[in-house]
Amino acid sequence: MAALPTETLSLQAQGLRFNVAAAGPEDGPLVILLHGFPETAYAWRRHIAPLAYAGFRVLAPDQRGYGGSAKPAGVPAYQLNTLALDVIGLARALGRQQFSVVGHDWGGIVAWHLATHHAVHIERAAILNAPHPATMLRYAMRNPLQLVRSAYVGLFQLPIAPELMLRANHYQALRWALTTTSRRDTFSAEDLSTYRQAWAEEGALTGMLNWYRALPLPTAFKPPARITVPVRVIWGDRDTALERGLADEAITWCDKGEAIHLPRASHWLHHEESAQVNALLLEFLEAGKTGKKKKDRAAKQEVKSDAEAEAEAEAHPS
Interval 191-220: pLDDT, tens: 999 999 999 999 999 999 999 999 999 877
Inside any domain, residue 274: yes
Would you state the torsion angle of the CA atoms of residues 213, 217, 220, 223, taken in this order, to the nearest 10 degrees?
A: 80
- Give the model's pLDDT for residue 313: 43
pLDDT reading at 306 higher than 60: no
Flag whether 176 is in a domain.
Answer: no
Q: Are 31 and 81 in contact (CB under 8 A)?
A: no
Instruction: Specify if 171 maps to a domain.
Output: no
Q: Quick check: 264 pLDDT over 70?
A: yes
Q: Is the pTM of this model over 0.95?
A: no
**Where residue 58 sits, what CATH number does that domain have?**
3.40.50.1820
User: For residue 309, is pLDDT > 50?
Assistant: no
Tallying the residues shown for the chain, one arrives at: 318
Cα–Cα distance, 50 to 88 (Å, whole number): 23
Enumerate the active-site residues.
Answer: 105, 212, 267
Residue 294 lies in domain: 7-151+224-310
Q: Is the pLDDT of residue 304 over 60?
A: no
Number of domains in the chain: 1
- Arithmetic mean of pLDDT over the chain: 91
What band does 5 get if pLDDT is binned at 50, 70 and 90?
confident
Q: Please indicate, yes or no, if residue 131 is contained in any of the structural domains.
A: yes
